[in-house]
Amino acid sequence: MTPAKLAATVLSAARAVFETRGLDISALPEATTVERPRNPEHGDYASTLAMQLGKKAGVAPRELAAALAEELGRQPGVKSVEIAGPGFLNIRLDAAAAGVLARDIVVAGSAYGHSDTLTGERINLEFVSANPTGPVHIGGVRWAAVGDALSRLLRAAGATVGTEYYFNDAGSQIDRFAKSLYASAKGEPAPEDGYGGAYIAEIAEKVVKEAPEVTSQEEGTALETFRRVGVDLMFAEIKQSLDEFGVHFDTYFNEKDLHERGELQEALDRLREQGHIFEADGATWLRTTEFGDDKDRVLRKSDGDWTYFAADCAYYLDKRKRGFDRVVIMLGADHHGYIGRMKAMSACFGDDPAVNLEILIGQLVSLVRDGEPVRMSKRAGTVVTLEDFVDALGVDATRYALARYSSDSPINLDIERWTRRNNDNPVYYVQYVAARSANVARNAQEKGVRRGEAADFHPELLTHEKENDLLKALGEYPDVVARSAALREPHHVARYLEEVAGAYHRFYDKCPVSPKSGDDPITDVNVARLWLNDATRTVIANGLALLGVSAPERM
């Protein structure tokens, strides 16, 4: 029995009590939850429902708890219910009710943990969106790992998700990039405000090879060639790096298209219709201060040029026009000041910023070796890149490490720790369970232990303390997935998997799946434990998949 099923049983019992006593049914919540007590001696699960409802129902919490305990005690699968303190309900399940979860997990397979909690929501999730002026740097790597994991979580919770990379191919930074390529091709140093690093020379060389006429063009034409071809080459490299990292986007959106399709003017017209546009000092402004921004924002400058914020407005409107009712944007720590203006912009369009727009801020990441920060990429010159991360840790360890921490907390990743092949390395600790459980299943097969059909499984035989602990841990998975999706926090999945790994190792030490010797008979207990072993591998594999990490069968 999963916590969700038990919670539904508790609520059903409460409804029966209220009806019997003639209490107001409207006081009952639509849903409730149960929790695992910190002290296992207090039972398998605990509920505070009696304390929540006592005042509303006009009944003392302990009196209501006593009535709930009596009703719950009659429910199938509930072994006992004890009342503690002011009205806590400590619930114990019988072995069969607890053990049947192993069968349910194996039967559900990769679908176990999926839910419909976000069904009906259409979410546009934008992340990374690094400028195409260099390789993906350390901040973008964090968002690549976290953003991709979040997209998987949201889909597992039932949402319709469109992942998006905003390709900023317009603006002054692209001009500086083109000038840097041009200077490199001529054998000159990069401009003072340009870009350095070996990658500039590599891209410049590729531009000359692809468009040899550039060497004879006059400067203005040559810069345009370096701009057009160089940006395409740089972005192709970025996409390849992300692809090798296991991150794929549904849409790559070009900023240039907003300009060419007239969408900035369309956004301006829409905002004018809403009554939030005004003219001052020859420029066109958006009155964002009406919705909490610290100052009004210029959309079009006095010289007629559009601002970056105007493109932000047009891009947001474009997403909403494509049918997304919630726009989620993941930004780096240096963009914290964007929150106020973006929220105000959403309100200016007539949207509810609390519903239609979410901005997630990710803090800084440092890569450390021998206690010292790794500060410089051999190729990029000034920053740590995606390739540096993967070279140092590998794809699985990088993705797991970056998704393991709350994105609003700065982190230092120690290369030595994350490359160890022992339990000090969290990703190794979890992946080892995937490999060990697969090996246990192979050994069982060789010794003649077969799961058989679901009817051959006897859940009531899973009575060992370590079996029960593992079952309770596995039962938490759907709630962890749903909560992580709702909070936009994939790190809960990683921490949960480490908890399951610990419970499995303790089960493995005390509860052998296969007979100890070839002379020992195969019993129904062996079969039941094989179901539990395979259920564990299912949960570990499902959870790692949400993080974009492999679940190896051998290590």
What values do phi and psi take at 5, rounded to 5? -65, -40
Euclidean distance between CA atoms 76 and 83, whole angstroms: 19
Q: What digits encode the pLDDT tens for the residues 57-97?
A: 888 989 999 999 999 888 888 989 999 989 899 998 888 88
CA neighbor of 43 nearest in space, from 100, 104, 89, 97? 89
3-state secondary structure of 412: strand
Collect all residues with Cβ–Cβ distance below 8 Å to 13 and sequence separation of at least 6. 68, 71, 72, 75
According to the model, what pLDDT value does residue 376 have? 61
Euclidean distance between CA atoms 334 and 275, whole angstroms: 31
* DSSP letter for each residue of 90-133: EEEE-HHHHHHHHHHHHHHGGGTT---TTTT-EEEEE-----TT
Q: Which residue has the higher pLDDT, 26 or 438?
A: 438
According to the model, what pLDDT value does residue 299 have? 97
Q: At 236, which helix (H) or strand (E)?
A: helix 219-244
Quick one: pLDDT band at residue 325, thresholds 50, 70, 90?
very high
Q: Is the pLDDT of residue 433 over 90?
A: yes
Euclidean distance between CA atoms 403 and 309, whole angstroms: 30
Euclidean distance between CA atoms 396 and 273, whole angstroms: 50
DSSP 82: E
According to the model, what pLDDT value does residue 23 have? 85
Q: Which residue has the higher pLDDT, 370 or 504?
A: 504
Kindly state the average pLDDT of the residues 516-530: 89
According to the model, what pLDDT value does residue 382 have? 65
Q: What digits encode the pLDDT tens for the residues 266-277?
A: 999 999 999 999
Contact 142, 230 (CB under 8 A): no
According to the model, what pLDDT value does residue 379 have? 62
What share of the chain in percent tops pLDDT 90? 72
Kindly state the average pLDDT of the residues 397-414: 94
Q: Is the pLDDT of residue 528 over 80?
A: yes
Contact 144, 128 (CB under 8 A): yes
Q: Is the pLDDT of residue 380 over 80?
A: no
- Average predicted confidence (pLDDT) for the chain: 92
According to the model, what pLDDT value does residue 42 have? 81
Contact 34, 10 (CB under 8 A): yes
Chain centre to alpha carbon of residue 265: 35
3-state secondary structure of 480: helix
Q: What digits encode the pLDDT tens for the residues 156-201?
A: 999 999 999 998 877 788 899 999 999 999 999 988 888 888 899 9
Model-level pTM greater than 0.75? yes
Chain centre to alpha carbon of residue 523: 42
According to the model, what pLDDT value does residue 428 have? 97
Q: What digits encode the pLDDT tens for the residues 97-148?
A: 889 999 999 999 999 999 999 999 999 999 999 888 888 988 889 999 999 9
Collect all residues with Cβ–Cβ distance below 8 Å to 372 and sequence separation of at least 6. none
Euclidean distance between CA atoms 363 and 133, whole angstroms: 22
Euclidean distance between CA atoms 481 and 112, whole angstroms: 10
Q: Is the pLDDT of residue 256 over 70?
A: yes
Q: Is the pLDDT of residue 298 over 70?
A: yes
Least confident window among 14-18, 278-282, 428-432:
14-18
According to the model, what pLDDT value does residue 233 have? 95
Q: Which residue has the higher pLDDT, 446 or 43?
A: 446
CA neighbor of 479 nearest in space, from 118, 159, 114? 114
Kindly state the average pLDDT of the residues 424-431: 97
According to the model, what pLDDT value does residue 476 have? 93
> How far are the Cα atoms of 340, 346, 352, 359 from residue 292, in angstroms, in the given order?
7, 12, 13, 16
Pairing of strands 283-286, 277-280: antiparallel
Q: What digits encode the pLDDT tens for the residues 31-42?
A: 888 888 888 788
Count the Cβ atoms, other than its own, within 10 Å of residue 100: 22
According to the model, what pLDDT value does residue 381 have? 65
